[in-house]
Amino acid sequence: LGAYFTGAFLAALLGQGTGAFMWSVPMVIGLYGLAQFVSGEMAQNRVLSISGTAAIASTVPAVLLMNTPYIVLLGSAVAAISVFLPGILLMRNEPSETV
């Protein structure tokens, strides 16, 4: 990811446009969803597995909404559903001494 964003930044500096940054939304959503799904499967945690699957499934609408202003809205909604909500659910299950 670091090489991708370095290349996207350099391309934008050289005046070749910012199209590479638009591809970052589906790419980041997909990679994050994959990592979350694998973590959920390894830990046998249903919340992480489901949220990872939801994030992976959202890459298709993200690709379809490329180059539209709705991509930012979709990215925000996916972050809320697949990151924030599972975090709250997992934190709720922790003992009160930990949280």
Tell me the per-residue pLDDT of 76-88, one tens digit each, with 9 for 90 and over: 999 999 999 999 9
pLDDT digits (tens, 9 = 90+) for 22-53: 888 899 999 999 999 999 999 999 999 999 99
Question: Would you say residue 65 has pLDDT above 90?
Answer: yes
Question: Would you say residue 99 has pLDDT above 70?
Answer: no
> Where does the chain have alpha helices with state H?
2-13, 19-43, 46-57, 59-64, 70-79, 85-92
Q: Are 16 and 56 in contact (CB under 8 A)?
A: no
Q: CA 86 → CA 23, 37, 61, 78, 98, distances in Å?
A: 25, 12, 21, 12, 17
Residue 9's pLDDT band (cuts 50, 70, 90): confident
Q: Return the pLDDT at 22.
A: 80
Q: State how far the Cα of 90 lies from the Cα of 47, in Å rounded to an integer.
A: 8
